[in-house]
């Protein structure tokens, strides 16, 4: 077979393929509508709200975990207080079970009960740890107490941050409810309760 003829055939076939590709119409792009914009904003606000919420809950979980570790350290150095410390463990377990979520946040008494139980445990456990003779030189106890105290002080900041984004979400819902329901009439578009409302 003549090599020149072979390569000429390939060249012609390539040109035909390219010509065919050039004849194809470019893909049409649908215009970005107001409905698309509203949906995008709605989802972005929801995502931000969820991220802030999860960060806050994760920090609270770490505080509770640090309290469990503190109790473990206290049990090791105070075997005679086993029953008293067991009672604290049970209260900590109850604390996890009674914590509010984004929906039950609207029940102010639930938030108040959780805050009271959490604050009581933080105060009592820190006092108990600091009363230990070895606290002055036991760096493990000191670090755990610092961790618990710092996390407890961050609670208010996290709640303010959540309320800020939830308020923006609620205002967005108020302004665009009719169109959002028109976009998706199956969705349950509800405003979010705030910590500020629970505290009032």
Reading the block at residue 67, the tokens are 């309290």
Is residue 149 one of the residues assigned to a domain? yes
Residue given tokens 């900041």 in the structure block: 157
Domain housing 161: 33-199
Is residue 165 one of the residues assigned to a domain? yes
Per-residue model confidence (pLDDT) at position 197:
72
The C-alpha angle with vertex 105 and arms to 150 and 199, in degrees rounded to 5, equals: 70
All residues at 6 or more sequence positions from 159 whose CB lies less than 8 Å from its CB, including other chains: 56, 195
Question: Alpha-carbon distance 63 to 69, whole Å?
Answer: 10
Quote the number of domains for the chain.
1
Per-residue model confidence (pLDDT) at position 186:
60
Is residue 10 one of the residues assigned to a domain? no
Q: Which helix (H) or strand (E) holds 67?
A: helix 34-77
Is residue 19 one of the residues assigned to a domain? no
List per-block mean pLDDT (blocks of 10 residues) for the chain, which spans 200 residues: 44 46 45 78 94 97 96 91 92 93 91 96 96 94 97 96 96 90 74 81
Per-residue model confidence (pLDDT) at position 187:
66
**Model pTM score:** 0.77
Per-residue model confidence (pLDDT) at position 17:
45
Is residue 52 one of the residues assigned to a domain? yes
Is residue 108 one of the residues assigned to a domain? yes
Is residue 20 one of the residues assigned to a domain? no
Closest CA to 121 of 67, 66, 199: 67
Per-residue model confidence (pLDDT) at position 62:
96
Is residue 113 one of the residues assigned to a domain? yes
């Amino acid at each position: 077979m003549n090599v020149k003829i072979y390569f000429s055939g390939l060249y012609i076939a390539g040109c035909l393929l390219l010509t065919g590709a050039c004849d194809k119409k470019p893909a049409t792009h649908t215009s970005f509508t107001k409905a698309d914009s509203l949906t995008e904003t709605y989802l972005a606000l929801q995502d931000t709200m969820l991220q802030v919420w999860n960060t806050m809950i994760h920090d609270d979980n770490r505080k509770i975990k640090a309290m469990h570790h503190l109790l473990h350290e206290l049990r090791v150095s105070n075997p005679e207080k086993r029953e008293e410390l067991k009672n604290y463990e049970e209260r900590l377990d109850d604390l996890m079970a009674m914590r509010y979520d984004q929906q039950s946040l609207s029940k102010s008494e639930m938030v108040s009960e959780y805050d009271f139980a959490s604050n009581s445990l933080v105060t009592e456990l820190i006092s108990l740890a600091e009363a230990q003779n070895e606290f002055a030189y036991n760096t493990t106890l000191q670090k755990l107490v610092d961790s618990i105290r710092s996390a407890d002080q961050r609670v208010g900041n996290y709640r303010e941050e959540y309320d800020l984004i939830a308020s923006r979400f609620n205002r967005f819902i108020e302004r665009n409810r009719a169109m959002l329901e028109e976009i998706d009439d199956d969705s349950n578009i509800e405003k979010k309760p705030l910590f500020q409302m629970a505290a009032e």
